[in-house]
Amino acid sequence: MGVLEKIIKTLEKEVKRDIDSQYFSGGHGIRNSHDDYFKPLRDVEPHLMAFVDGGNNTILEAPRFSLQVNRVYFNLFKGKERQRPSSRIPEKIEFFSYLSVHDSENGEVGKVKIFPLSEEHRKYLPMEEDLTVTLPGPPDFYQRSRMFSVARRFAEWSFSTRIIEEELDDGDILVKDGSLDTSFEGERIYLHRILKAADKIGVNLAGLSKTCTLPTPTGNSLIASIRKLAKDKNYERWYHLLKPKEVKGHLIKIMIVKLHELSDYIFRLDLFGKDDEAEIISAIGENTVDPTFPGYPYGLIDADLNARVRMDEVKMYKASILSGLPEDVLEELKYHIRAVDAHEKLNRIAMIKDKKIR
Amino acid sequence: MRELASGIQLENRGSQVEFLDEELRNYIIAEAKTILQIRNGKPQLPKRLPKFFTHVRRIEDDDLKFLKKEIEDPLYLGNVRSGSKELKTKIHVNAREAIPHHILIPATTGRGKSNLVKVMLWELMDIENIGMLVLDPHDEYYGRNEKGLKDHPNQEKLRYYTPEISKVEGEAISLNINLRSIRPEHFDGIVEFTSAQKDAIKLYHNKFEENWIQNIIRGEKVENQEGTKEKVSPSTLSVLQRKFDNILGIYEEEGRLESRGGVFTTDAGDSTIKDIIKSLEDGEIVIIDTSRLMGEAELLVGSIIVGALFNKYQKYKAEGKLEEKPIIGIVIEEAPRVLGKEVIERQGHNIYSTIAREGRKFNIGLVAITQLVTLIPRTILANMNTKIILGNEMSQERSEIIASASQDLSDDNRAIASLDRGEAIVTSIFTKFAVPIKIPLFEEHVKDKISETKEKPPLLSPEDL
């Protein structure tokens, strides 16, 4: 058997693994009686929904610092119709974040300074003192790049909280790209703050994850397992409840959803709110009819496009900053950058070669 | 649409999906190009871009006031077009300038070439001191069975020559050309002869002068001085007879010369060429219906007339009388037949290519119509200083048109391909920018013009006063 045939057999075996259709305990297990937790979506009256996403990209990177450009954007839809914000809240906030490495008793920590493009936007951004993170040392040194996004992630929470407070009302929905999980120190404070704001006003807070790597207790893909179970159902659009999680007394429902009949995609959706979950998920589903990506909210597609920081923007900022530096500082900075940019250099060579081949 | 659909089979599932933000996402990208700057009502070539965020809107008639200034001998081509929208502003070129600098009309079939020429000729009927020779292979300009130049109020300016005079209502003149009018050089660049045939023609012309063709057809022997030996071999003579039969329709039967088409004759048409030239010199429009002639015969008729005219105008220039004479324009269809690279290379220059190169000096110009610009040499194309470009689907043709245009049309490749019937771009050394125009439909143009004429109050006679 050739090596490719061996790989094919391995893949076949993997996808044909029996799903754990019985009771699973712990983690994100599927409940014992699936019928109780598979629910169809229905046609509902359109709800006002805010969709939020953020993006960041590296301008300069060296072993001891990193300069990022960040952008957080939101839009408003009532069902399928785009709405204009009624308050004076900006649709887009942009800022630079400078992460520098400091030595501490517990190892190295990254501290972030924030420079909003417009000073008026500072009120939507996280506090600098909250942005101190412990940096992974060897052997996880390369995971440090994950830390570059810390300012953007915190800004998504803080900006979303202000959107809930200033733009949304009881029964409205805020849909954030990604789960309602936290992964940085201090992030839970921001999550707690937004849950509190949503709870107070009666806004439903949802987090939609494009990717989900959650396993069942026996190690299968949770998404793949639920898809197999869903085949037995005749629902065109549905959700399947998983075990909820609690954050400081706030219960967050976790579920797998299929938001459009034609979609091949099912997603993890985290939901916090007092309203009927079927009503809220159905309302989000109303926004997923765009043929660009049926089954995924168009509001999030638009938010992704607007929040994305493109390379040409990065180049423009980089040129502006570097051209403003005195020559001796620039020379010194070059050696800092050279310590980590060799990979980028190789990529560039490969790209040139690739273009020539074409 | 900026994004691609995600690959799911969406055919026949239209009711389940719909584009959100449709007006924001389904758009046409328009590219702007600076072509002209108007300062104090005067057009100037732009030296810089407009300021950022300047208001952008469609062009309006008021913006084109500068085009309305009086020009002499205005030849109307059509109205300014903005996209597919026709404005009221009319586009004219100065006929006395544009015609001697030659006009090229490139287009594929069905894009409105004939209609444009009809409109132009109709307008030229009102301009004095411009003579036009129209070789009409489709007999479409006079308007024998439909609206045409015959319906123009200024009828005395029109001369229509046709071999089928009996079938024409109105004033037509019989197209008869006496063989004695034809000289060997009229065939230059139009009919290909071998050197033996050329020698034979020269011999016959030397010996029989204006009766040279008749004697070739009759097979008269040309003897050398000793009077014994034939100078032209029977086979050469036979080929020449066949060629003249094919081209001129002249053959011998029972000792008599017969004319198949009735155009080339031995017993009539002595004054035809002279009459045509006189009409042209009087600033008249002469249409020659060549629809019954073979292609070479049509060109030959033109060659005879244009050759004689060119010689006369050369003489006028030498005598300092040229400025008193009318401008002459020659309308020639399928221009590569006489202006094509291959034709010129193989057969040498003909009177049409001579006019294309040198006619301007003698106030004679071509209005050349073609589907295939690529066949015409660049040197000749560069001499065609006004081009009225109609729609053309052929990419290579468009590239050649763009390369030889008087203005930079490098961004207009697709625009030329998508020109609808009657839509054109005029590029000329006499305009500051390439102007998109909409040519009126001839029948409607005629109707408007005739009603305009009728609306004028009648002239009062001295008795009325």
Helix then strand then coil, in percent of chain A rounded to 5, is 40, 25, 35
A296 and A336 together in one domain:
no
The Cα A149–Cα B65 span in angstroms is 59
Nearest to B213 by CA among B189, B186, B234: B186
Chain A residue with minimal CA distance to B4?
A292
Residue of chain B whose alpha carbon sits nearest to that of A298: B20
A190 plus A95 within the same structural domain: yes
Pairwise CB contact (< 8 Å): B6 & A261 = no
Same domain, A302 and A345: no
Backbone φ, ψ for residue B42 (5° rounding): -110, 135
Among partner residues B10, B13, B21, which is closest to A82 by beta-carbon distance?
B21
Chain B CA closest to residue A260: B16
Could you give the CA distance from residue A64 to residue A135 in angstroms, rounded to a whole number? 11
For residues A195 and A331, membership in a common domain is answered with: no
Contact B197, B238 (CB under 8 A): no
Query: Can you tell me whether residue A274 is helix, strand or coil?
Result: coil
DSSP code at position A129: G
Q: How confident is the model over B316-341, as a mean pLDDT? A: 93
> Which pLDDT score is estimated for B431?
85
CATH number, position A172: 3.30.2170
Verify that A242 and A333 share a domain, yes or no: no
- Average pLDDT in the B128-137 region? 94
Element housing A165 (H / E):
helix A150-166
Closest partner residue to B10 (CB to CB) among A82, A262, A302 is A262
Prediction pTM value: 0.67
Determine which of A188-197, B258-267, B366-375 has the lowest per-residue pLDDT on average.
B258-267
Which among B3, B4, B17 has the least Cβ separation from residue A289? Answer: B17
Task: Assess contact for A292 and B20: CB atoms under 8 A.
Answer: no
A293 neighbourhood in chain B, CB within 8 Å: 3, 6
Chain A CB contacts of B11 under 8 Å are none
Contact B298, B290 (CB under 8 A): yes
Mean pLDDT of B227-231: 62
**pLDDT score, position B463:** 54
On whether both A156 and A279 belong to a single domain, the answer is yes
Which range among A118-127, B271-280, B295-304 shows the weakest confidence by mean pLDDT?
B295-304
A292 lies in the same domain as A342? no
Instruction: Tell me, letter by letter, the H, E, C secondary structure of chain B.
Output: CCCCCCCCCCCCCHHHCCCCCHHHHCCCCCCCCCCCEEECCEEECCCCCCCCCCCCCCCCHHHHHHHHCCCCCEEEEEEEEECCEEEEEEEEEEHHHHCCCCEEEECCCCCCHHHHHHHHHHHHCCCCCEEEEEEECCCCCCCCCCCCHHHCCCHHHEEEEECCHHHCCCCCEECCEEHHHCCHHHHCCCCCCCHHHHHHHHHHHHHHHHHHHHHHHHCCCCECCCCCCECCCHHHHHHHHHHHHHHHCEEEECCEEEECCCCEECCCCCCHHHHHHHHHHCCCEEEEECCCCCHHHHHHHHHHHHHHHHHHHHHHHHHCCHHHCCEEEEEECCCHHHHCHHHHHHHCCCHHHHHHHHHHHHCEEEEEEECCHHHCCHHHHHHCCEEEEECCCCHHHHHHHHHCCCCCCCCCHHHHHCCCCCEEEEEECCCCCCEEEECCCHHHHHHHHHHHHHHCCCCCCCCCC
Q: Please judge whether A291 and B21 are an interchain contact, meaning their C-beta atoms are less than 8 angstroms apart.
A: no
Q: Do A263 and B8 touch (CB under 8 A)?
A: yes
Size of interface A-B (CB pairs under 8 A): 46
Alpha carbon of B25: minimum distance to chain A alpha carbons (Å) = 11
- Does the distance separating the beta carbons of B18 and A262 come in below 8 Å? no
Chain B contact present for A289, CB below 8 A: yes
Residues in A touching B10 (Cβ below 8 Å): 262, 291, 294
The values of phi and psi at residue A41, to 5°, are -90, 165
Residue A203 placed within a domain = yes
Q: How far is Cα A327 from Cα A333, in angstroms, rounded to an integer?
A: 10
Let me know whether A235 and A338 are in one domain: no
* pLDDT tens digits for range A300-353: 999 999 999 999 999 999 999 988 888 888 888 887 777 767 777 777 777 766
Q: Which residues of B touch A260 (CB under 8 A)?
A: 16
Q: Of A304-308, B151-155, B222-226, which has the strongest mean pLDDT?
A: A304-308
**Chain A hits for B8, Cβ within 8 Å:** 262-264, 294
B34, B24, B33, B31: which is closest to B1 by C-alpha?
A: B24
A32 in any annotated domain: no
Q: How many domains does chain A have?
A: 2
| Residue scoring higher pLDDT (B448 or B357) | B357
Higher pLDDT, B417 or B449: B417
Q: Å from B30 to nearest chain A CA? A: 22
b vs e for B214-249, b when ≥16 Cβ sit within 10 Å of the residue's Cβ?
bbbbeebebeeeeeeeeebeeebbebbbebbeebbb
Predicted pLDDT at A21: 47
CA angle, A319 then A321 then A324, to 5°: 105
- What confidence score (pLDDT) does residue A327 get? 84
Instruction: Report yes or no on A182 lying in a domain.
Output: yes
The confidence score (pLDDT) of residue B51 equals 87
Per DSSP bridges, beta strands B250-253 and B256-259 are antiparallel
* Residue of chain B minimizing CA distance to A79: B20
Q: Which range scores top for mean pLDDT: A102-111, B26-35, B206-215, B435-444?
A: B435-444
A 65-84: CB under 8 A from B: 77, 80, 82
The partner residue sitting opposite B17, judged by closest CB among A290, A301, A302, is A290
- ipTM for this prediction: 0.77
Q: Does A113 touch chain B (CB under 8 A)?
A: no
Asked if residue A3 belongs to a domain, the reply is no
What's the pLDDT tens digit per position in B355-369?
999 999 999 999 999
Closest B-chain CA to A289: B17
User: Which regions of chain A are under pLDDT 70?
Assistant: 17-35, 138-143, 217-219, 340, 352-358
pLDDT band at B122 (very low <50, low <70, confident <90, very high): very high
> Which residues in chain A touch residue B15, judged by CB atoms under 8 angstroms apart?
none
CA nearest A62: which of A246, A280, A278, A332?
Answer: A332
Whether residue A256 contacts residue A239, with contact meaning beta carbons closer than 8 Å, is answered with yes
The verdict on A189 and A268 lying in the same domain is yes
Contact B18 A294 (CB under 8 A): no
- Residue from B13, B20, B23, B24 to probe the interface with A (highest A Cβ count within 10 Å): B20
Q: Are residues A86 and A184 in the same domain?
A: yes
pLDDT of residue A139: 58
Do A331 and A216 reside in the same domain of the chain? no
B2: nearest CA partner in chain A: A292
Map tokens 């081209």 to a residue: B247
- Region B387-395: what's the mean pLDDT? 94
Do A86 and A178 share a domain, yes or no? yes
Tokens of A355: 């273009």
CB count within 10 Å of CB B253 equals 7
Q: Between B104 and B49, where is the model more confident?
A: B104
Note whether A302 contacts B: Cβ–Cβ < 8 A: yes
Environment class of B28 (CB within 10 Å of its CB; exposed 0-12, middle 13-18, buried 19+): exposed
> CB distance B20–A287 less than 8 Å?
yes
Mean pLDDT of B282-299: 89
Q: What is the mean pLDDT of residues B146-154?
A: 92
Instruction: Kindly state whether residue A318 falls inside one of the protein's structural domains.
Output: no
Residue A346, domain extent: 324-353
Q: Which of B358, B359, B416, B344 is CA-nearest to residue B387? A: B416
Q: Is residue A283 part of a domain?
A: yes
Residue of chain B nearest A261, judged by CA positions: B16
Query: Does some domain include residue A26?
Result: no
| A13 in a structural domain | no
Within 8 A by CB and 6+ apart from B323, the residues are: none
Count other Cβ atoms within 10 Å, centred on residue B353.
Answer: 24
Question: Which chain B residues are closer than 8 Å to A291 by Cβ?
Answer: 5-6, 10, 17-19
Q: Which residue of A has its CA nearest to B1?
A: A292
